Structure 1
């Protein structure tokens, strides 16, 4: 193996002196090169803008206009901090969040956390499939139930049967579908002065609807499944790359790895919030300005854009819903499979063949299958999504507290315990979620 690597290194060195290699250098700055350099953080950030999230942002912009844009600026450092902490835990320990909980904390805690995550993620999959089916029906007509099955089965089958590297590349390319919402801005008559003021100058309206929307935005941008996914993907990357080991075992290259994680996470979260802000501004400029404030889902937002911003805006919006759904459903189902399987210490990983991780892929398929089936029950997808957000909000608090405690646990993190401004920003993010859950609880009571 060593001799093979030396030969490969010599061949690479020789190739670097040829004119062909000089011609290849610009590829480092190509879109492919940029996507290749990014990892779990980019996919996590893009998956945050799933169809249910698009519905939340559309509803926020339609109801409250430009003035709610400041929430995207506020949530960016909070979500970036908690996602970076999640990624560091995975990279340092070589295990995801569940894998660390089952090794260092009581079994009952793991059961409660994983059960709530399974429920919330599965309901979210059902809601996302419903939104994708409605968006496809807007584009080409046909029966929505057929699209639910096709999208659900395709998403699960791709995770089970596709080569891991190729599959991750597909997910990265799917992130480009979110630029549909930047393109949609071109069809909206945006007052950029008001939009900028909405981002930079918070204007709080003391009403139940206003605070409910803020809670919904926080619950959408800071979701437990994203913590589990990014931590597990960092551990997965180590299984793929033979040169990588958990940092707690081999300290070499830790600074470089942490720099990579930070750049990847900040890029992913910034991308997520720019897209979310684009959706809010589009909805504010088109729907709110026209008095159309009764938006409940992303598909309704797309449909409502047609008479206001034109058919192209509707098509772009609908295509974005389908693209981001194809990205988000694998993350939701994958996060569930990692959480359950790591907690049981089963063989995990999308790099493994199905026969090597039967239980892991079974959980993944079960979550996706139930998500499909829920669309054929009398359960209202909008109501289900609402309660999924409630479960996610409630679950986020203990998971984030657990994550912060884990980040300072020397037995787990060794010499890489997290401190300084990142640690306190993580607690600030946790505090913001606590306040949002309290506000949500008060809203449910009243």
Structure 2
């Protein structure tokens, strides 16, 4: 079994936005919403394993598969517009938050240094990794950061010493008053469309030349389950720590930016530094994976070479990174772009999921590796939920 592509997905969805959502969930509702986190992790494992299997069997990433199998030109261009808007522009918009989150983490670790130094430095480090085009180097850096992030957040949870009986009670589904939006946010911050593009692209590249597809799929499933499960464990640690520290205290302004400093009175300086380091790792991993995902999506839909060594691929990734760095460094407000990206993401996710499920059931595409009846039965309620979630998201943005 080879760990790697799945850990990149974990690196992608554990960012400053996830830390904020998980912190607010714990501070506002204690352990009561842990069931939503478990559900979202299981749903993400299912969807990501489908995207990975597509990459193993066809050698195509999801964007390339969309372009290859949508035969009607109008629908193909519509799909290209949605993907480039949601994944390309969306990645650029969210990149500002990723870089800002990593910078806030470093400010927590080195408060005496100038805050203006960190964002450009993190952007340069991310750009150097992306421009190198060396997949193994990028993968190795991200795996290290994910493991670092796991250690610091889990160590902080141990320091917080939560009530285990209360924590396990949170795995029973419930909807405390006013919790619906937070439940949807927990699910939405874990099930994200650009990870489907990222995962399928990375797996398609990694599995090139492998003759035993069944073994490759089995290895990929283990990688996906363990890696995303680890990401869920990190999120659980954040929810639980925030629950211990803040539940019932009315911390309405809690965010990734101030969580580390607000933990100090309860957990001591060590927890403050742990959380700041974790925030830095979360921001940096997402700052690297967001441009990668955007480049896979844009290059695949435009018929460009989807390879980390390709000049076009590097250019698209660097444009996304530079946009985020400018917004983060100048303190510009990317709200309008983020709202547009969220709207297109909400529209794109159910479309992509429907298409992915259709594709995974086609003999001419997947052959003997097409979906089983059990997988389809498990996927149907998930698809209904995604459509509901996306519709709710669109209504809140209008």
Q: Structure 1 pair 383/287, CA: closer, same or farther in 2 (3 Å)?
A: farther
Deviations 1:243-276 (A, max 9, x none): 42xxxxxxx5232122111111111121111111
Instruction: Give the aligned partner of residue 302 of structure 2.
Output: 344
Question: Separation in 2 of the partners of 1:382 and 1:60?
Answer: 22
Aligned-partner SS, 2:323: helix
- Residues 52, 385 of structure 1: 8 Å contact kept: no
Query: Are residues 1:310 and 2:268 paired?
Result: yes
Deviations 1:207-231 (A, max 9, x none): 3xx1111111111000011100100
- Residues 57, 279 of structure 1: 8 Å contact kept: yes
Aligned-partner SS, 1:375: helix
Q: Structure 1 pair 118/381, CA: closer, same or farther in 2 (3 Å)?
A: same
Deviation at 1:330, TM superposition (A): 1.7
- Residues 99, 283 of structure 2: 8 Å contact kept: yes
Alignment gaps of 5+ in structure 2: 71-75
Which of 112, 115, 128 matches 1:157?
A: 128
Deviation at 1:146, TM superposition (A): 2.2
- Residues 295, 317 of structure 2: 8 Å contact kept: yes
Instruction: Give the aligned partner of residue 188 of structure 2.
Output: 219
Which of 216, 222, 243 matches 1:284?
A: 243
Deviations 1:340-389 (A, max 9, x none): 11222222222x2xxxx211110010000001111245544688767655
Deviations 1:384-416 (A, max 9, x none): 767655543333222212211221233332332
- Residues 129, 137 of structure 2: 8 Å contact kept: no
Deviation at 1:196, TM superposition (A): 1.1
Question: Separation in 2 of the partners of 1:53 and 1:387?
Answer: 19
Which of 102, 106, 110 matches 1:136?
A: 106
Structure 2 length-normalised TM: 0.92
Deviation at 1:147, TM superposition (A): 1.1
Question: Separation in 1 of the partners of 2:221 and 2:58?
Answer: 17
Structure-to-structure mapping, 1:395-414, within 5 angstroms: 395-414=348-367
Instruction: Give the aligned partner of residue 427 of structure 1.
Output: 380
Deviation at 1:425, TM superposition (A): 2.4
Instruction: Give the aligned partner of residue 273 of structure 1.
Output: 232
Question: Separation in 2 of the partners of 1:74 and 1:435?
Answer: 15
Deviations 1:314-334 (A, max 9, x none): 110110111122222221100
Which of 250, 253, 264 matches 1:294?
A: 253
Q: Structure 1 pair 347/158, CA: closer, same or farther in 2 (3 Å)?
A: same
Question: Separation in 1 of the partners of 2:330 and 2:138?
Answer: 31
Q: Structure 1 pair 439/167, CA: closer, same or farther in 2 (3 Å)?
A: closer
Over aligned residues, Cα RMSD in angstroms?
A: 2.1
Which of 269, 272, 278 matches 1:320?
A: 278
Structure-to-structure mapping, 1:247-266, within 5 angstroms: 253-266=212-225
- Residues 64, 284 of structure 1: 8 Å contact kept: yes
Q: Structure 1 pair 390/268, CA: closer, same or farther in 2 (3 Å)?
A: farther
Query: Are residues 1:188 and 2:160 paired?
Result: yes
Instruction: Give the aligned partner of residue 92 of structure 1.
Output: 57
Instruction: Give the aligned partner of residue 370 of structure 1.
Output: 323
Which of 184, 200, 207 matches 1:238?
A: 207
Question: Separation in 1 of the partners of 2:260 and 2:43?
Answer: 29
Structure-to-structure mapping, 1:43-192, within 5 angstroms: 43-105=8-70, 106-141=76-111, 142-161=113-132, 163-179=134-150, 180-192=152-164
Which of 197, 206, 217 matches 1:228?
A: 197
Question: Separation in 1 of the partners of 2:40 and 2:198?
Answer: 19
Q: Structure 1 pair 340/144, CA: closer, same or farther in 2 (3 Å)?
A: same
- Residues 90, 337 of structure 2: 8 Å contact kept: no
Deviations 1:266-307 (A, max 9, x none): 111211111111100000000225442421x31221121122
Aligned-partner SS, 1:37: coil
- Residues 349, 390 of structure 2: 8 Å contact kept: no
Aligned-partner SS, 2:207: helix
Aligned-partner SS, 2:170: helix
Question: Separation in 2 of the partners of 1:440 and 1:363?
Answer: 28
Query: Are residues 1:42 and 2:7 paired?
Result: yes
